[in-house]
Amino acid sequence: MPSPDPFHDMDETQTALMRATYDALCEHGYADITIQRIGDEFPKSKSLIYQHYDSKDELLVAFLETMIEHFETEIPVEDSTDALDQLQTLLDHLLAPQLETERYEFTSAMTELRAQAPHNEAYRDHFSKSDRIIHEHIADIIRLGIDQGTFRAVDPDRTAELLHTTIDGAMLRRTTTNETADISAIRHEIEEYIHRRLIKE
């Protein structure tokens, strides 16, 4: 859930380590990442990594926590802004028809990390928490639209669940196929849903 610099307000060493993790994930993906390879991207002593993290999974879960804290603090719902605009901005970002190489690589790594959840409780707990945060973010936008009088009095939680799930499905399909998923088509039909279900006539 990226904006240009998710690492700006962290302590310097931690910042450098999280950036190294991001770079190593983009380069190697989960399957081939090791603490050694994260260390290769890290400008300080590798021993600093081993002092703080016992395993690559422990470090990766800490990395995911950083990403979601960034999402929470940096992307608030703006009461002063039109809810439909906020929803469209979010969808423009998450259902972009094409992703640039680095973002595609990072999104692919996120798919791999997420797939650790069925057998790893720490990942499972993280994605349960991040799902709740993203759900609340979308539901807040829907609630705002209802308050602003633009949206019908739908159930914000149900609407958020559909939008959130479709976004996650698009992420999964585009990172696991040879461009089989037509993201523009998905966006088009989500727009139809929004206009027919959400927006007051």
75: tokens are: 């992307």
Name residues contacting a copy of itself, limited to 17-36 (CB under 8 A). Answer: 29, 31-32
Q: Give me the numbers of helices (H) and strands (E) for the chain, helices first please.
A: 9, 0
- Is residue 175 within 8 Å of residue 111, measured between CB atoms? yes
Among 2, 116, 122, 136, binds a copy of itself (CB under 8 A): 116
Q: How far apart are CA 137 and CA 118, in angstroms?
A: 25
Residue 120 Cβ vs a copy of itself, minimum distance, rounded to whole Å: 8
Residue 29 Cβ vs a copy of itself, minimum distance, rounded to whole Å: 5
Amino acid identity of 79? D
**Judged by CB under 8 A, does residue 185 bind a copy of itself?**
yes
Contacts of 196 (CB under 8 A, 6+ apart): none
Q: Angle 47-50-52 (CA atoms, 0-180°, nearest 5)? A: 115
Classify residue 179 as exposed, middle or buried by CB count within 10 Å of its CB (0-12, 13-18, 19+): exposed
**Judged by CB under 8 A, does residue 112 bind a copy of itself?**
yes
Residue 132 Cβ vs a copy of itself, minimum distance, rounded to whole Å: 6
**Judged by CB under 8 A, does residue 177 bind a copy of itself?**
yes
Q: How far apart are CA 201 and CA 152, in angstroms?
A: 9
Q: CB under 8 A: which stretch of 19-27, 34-42, 71-79, 186-194 binds a copy of itself?
A: 186-194
Q: CB under 8 A: which stretch of 1-9, 14-22, 63-71, 162-170 binds a copy of itself?
A: 162-170
Q: How far apart are CA 20 and CA 49, in angstroms?
A: 11
Give the binding site for a copy of itself (CB under 8 A): 29, 31-32, 108-109, 111-112, 114-120, 123-125, 127-128, 131-132, 135, 155, 157-159, 161-162, 164-170, 172-173, 175-178, 180-182, 185-186, 188-190, 192-193, 196-197
